[in-house]
Chains A and B, each alone.
Chain A
Amino acid sequence: MRYLPLTDADRAEMLDKIGVDSVDALFEDVPEKARLDGTVDLPRHKSEMEVERQLTRLSRKNISASEAPFFVGAGAYKHHIPSSVDHLIQRSEYLTSYTPYQPEISQGTLQTLFEFQTQVALLTGMEVANASMYDGSTACGEAVLMACRITKRSKAILSGNLHPHYAAATHTLAKYMDIEIKDDAAKPGGLDDIAADIPDDVACVVVQNPDVFGQVHDLEPIAKAAHEKGALLIAVFTEAVSLGLMKTPGAMGADIVVGEGQSIGVGLQFGGPHVGLFACRNDRNYIRNLPGRLAGETVDADGRRGYVLTLSTREQHIRRDKATSNICTNSGLMTLAWTIHMSLLGDTGLRTMAQLSHEKACELADRLSAISGVELVTDAFFNEFTLRLPKNAADVVEALAEKGVLGGVPASRLYPGKGYDDLLIVAATETNTDSDLDAFEAALKEVL
């Protein structure tokens, strides 16, 4: 057993010191009926070689994004991640430490969290950010709960073009909290008229930008309409790279900004772990209602600058049933990956990466919508757009996969039974080459 340092001689000596005859004696409090005689019915231990063989065999049953022309998005995007990111996050000091409860020997984690919070605030155009949530969808749900605490109201309106999984996660989180949630109707290529009819007792309106179909929106009129009714605007994004090119939600008047950070540093990971970004105004009422951890600056006994976890009385380990959220462990290592990648990019690199993603998407949209019977539904978009196909999009995606092209997400997979069978959501990024675009165009022509 390569992971267990004790020898049988050690065990015997230790039992002797403890003053018992056998290990069984240490389990004497377990009800007799529940003590297993042997082992559970699972295979015995394996060598590294055997485990590696078994798992590699499984992994080969999947087609990875780098093996095929890849255009799948709808909440997770394939971007280039510099090699140094993965090297750094595997350093023992980051990988095998825990939540920085002892700040004197956790300054590495705490300073990177402080840098992360600052970068998230800058990226979103907001004043402050927390130290991360699980992912974008849970951040969205937590933002709605926070808006209800801030406004002391208990109604929320979700845009119909919010990623349906985000809407569902938000419904679940609010389900038993006496919060009433209204879902507007989806409108591919447009936006439900959420600003037109905001009642006086609404805590927040939640709008995704770019939306789930890829369409981009000016949030300013929505922010204005919400604020007139005393409601907050929660702006959501699933593609963090879009902020490399677009006006920030902060500049458009958002009060809370949440989103998925996976595009930067984290990768696809088959859906997790990802990293939820959470930013808001620098207002006492906001900050005291934030969910999750916060790193803050202070000084040590010698007056030297250092960082600590702060404002912890919001959190479950102190406030228990009155905490702002039950979240404990967040996405620590993913925030580090995010922060390293963002530090490598800087303004310059982020803008270029966003520009390339946008250009590839524009070119692809033009080429695909030129195919007979294919129509571009979204007229203003960043790196993701929606096509109306002359056939069932789910069947088309399967047929494309058989031709070795991973060609997007059928809208019906996100909105089952809503009549979107002919809509295909397609994403492009800087990782797509000209030959990827050629392959997609050729395959789609053949399939249609």
Chain B
Amino acid sequence: MAMNTQGRPSAPLHTPDPGAYDDTFSGSRGLDQAEPLIFERQTYDKSGVDFEAPKGKPSRLGALERTDDLGLPGLSEPEAMRHYVRLSRKNYAIDIGLYPLGSCTMKHNPRLNEKMARLPGFSDVHPLQPQSTVQGAYELIGELAHWLMTLTNMPTVAMSPKAGAHGELCGMMAIRAALDARGESHRRRVLVPESAHGTNPATAVQCGFFCDEIPAGPDGRVDMEAFKGKLGDDVAAIMLTNPNTCGLFERDIRAIADAIHEAGGYFYCDGANFNAISGRVRPGDLGVDAMHFNLHKTYSTPHGGGGPGSGPTVLSAALAKFAPLPFVIKDGDSWRMVEDEADAKAQGAEPFGRMVAFHGQMGMFTRAMSYMLSHGADGLKQASEDAVLNANYILARLKDVMTQSYDGLCMHEALFDDRFLKDTGVSTLDFAKAMIDEGYHPMTMYFPLVVHGAMLIEPTESESKASLDRFCDTLEALALAAKAGETERFTAAPRYAPTKRLDETRAARQPVLRWTPASADTKAAE
């Protein structure tokens, strides 16, 4: 038989001691390529973009022309491709595996959305083009607004906020404007549950309010007695996430809404967890006055390594007229953008101001619209139900080996704490890092603050049962390993990630926030 030299067996003849060769000569490890910073290539004489030659006419910049170089290196296209592709491989992503970050709704990002957002009629259009040339863009904003208002049973939606936190600012500023209009500017106290996202108190303060924390009751929900005790004529609003950050629906939400209204305040609902109820429960039916959406959570626009977000904010009848500029209206047969105060006043509005240069995240509107049209009313409802079902399935499978923080069912995310790790020498952080070795992105850790060593798992509706089973099998095995004293497995984790644990203390004590030639020299000298 002829020996094909390409067909030699690839199995090693013997397995060397794994500790024998600590590192490779190149610094790369198989598919994980070591990749320097672009600045370290020192390629200042090339570019990956070809242009026609300038004519060399004299400049008309006054005396403001720059003579020195900026020091920006250039890469040819193949070099750039390789650099950014190599770096990309050091990232975990939804497309790689289950990404159970609680309160982040890491669901599948349909590629139809991407295709639609790139239609030149949406992506290659200027926000200040003549209004007659962008009627389709206005119509899309109007259509998405209609879906968002219908899903919430609310009369108005402000479309311009750029992200969830920006939407919070929009809602809280509308509340402030409404209080000022009522002549009740003295209302400055905002009630915020201690389990709230950090953006809530940060936002309240940016509106000139101060925060008063409401403790959680033993069931992980607002302590009604404590809440009622805090009501008074200086209360501006309550900011409440529902379902809350413990993954629980606030059962008393109607009573909370009634009580805050009776006390003369408003009800801001943080919509970060809307994926649990979208298409199934309408916040307008719960007494909400303002709620932002996170289109990048609930409606699948990509998370993009940390944005862009988009935070349209629905407003109740009491707040509607204070919505910020600009906004789209249907004027006869055509659409129009109301851009200035005089025009807005003519429409009966009293905008609290303008939040941003143009009119919001069009690219995200297109993606969200594509997602919503794809799902329809029936699919959005099914998606919420599946999200809640998936979370409860995880809870049911893991509650005997991990510790569930609050008894009963959950909504779209399951909250565990670190009691099951007691006396194991393994912390929530260690447990999370061991998940990395198992091929999973960890859950949200140490949040919410109301339970010790929190682990908040949100699977979303995008996971199959088989995927959930594999995940639960893994977490179960890890929990048992921790209890069996395999401490090293956790404290030394991650072992199989592109880097070991990183020294965050050093990063904060001696901040290095950019590359400099000097820092490069220092390294060479070491």
Contact = CB atoms under 8 A, between A and B. Distances in A.
Tell whether any CB of A sits under 8 Å from a CB of B in the complex.
yes
B366 interface: yes
Interface stretch (A195-203, A221-229, A315-323, A367-375): A315-323
A298 B502 contact: yes
Given A118-B515, A321-B210, 12 more contacts: A11-B386, A15-B389, A34-B285, A58-B137, A59-B121, A102-B441, A115-B515, A136-B357, A247-B65, A270-B362, A274-B358, A401-B132
Given A23-B388, A96-B95, A99-B305, A346 B46 contact: yes
10 contacts: A30-B281, A45-B376, A58-B140, A82-B77, A101-B101, A168-B353, A300-B501, A329-B164, A340-B80, A353-B51
B377 A5 contact: no
Contact of B358 (A75, A80, A109, A245): A75
B281 A35 contact: yes
A43 B164 CA distance: 26
Given A218-B62, A343-B73, A272 B91 contact: no
Contacts of B377: 39-44
Nearest to A273: B308
Given A98-B303, A294-B513, A330-B306, A51 B112 contact: yes
B347 interface: no
A35 B163 CA distance: 28
A58 B142 CA distance: 12
Given A380-B62, A397-B130, A107 B87 contact: yes
A311 to B, nearest CB: 6
B165 A273 contact: no
A245 B67 CA distance: 8
Contacts of B90: 93, 105-108, 111
A254 B402 CA distance: 54
B206 A268 contact: no
A128 to B, nearest CB: 5
B43 interface: yes
B353 to A, nearest CB: 4
B122 A100 contact: no
Contacts of A63: 121, 125, 129, 133-134
A176 B201 contact: no
Contact of B47 (A344, A380, A409): A344
B354 A329 contact: no
CB-based closest 9 A-B pairs: A346-B74, A271-B358, A59-B121, A333-B304, A61-B136, A271-B127, A332-B306, A349-B47, A176-B208
Contacts of A62: 121-122, 125, 133-137
A3 B383 contact: yes
A61 B135 contact: yes
B43 A346 contact: yes
A6 B151 contact: no
B302 interface: yes
A27 B204 CA distance: 30
A76 B128 contact: yes
A307 B37 CA distance: 11
A104 B209 CA distance: 38
Contacts of A318: 198
B72 A119 contact: yes
Interface in A53-70: 54-56, 58-67, 70
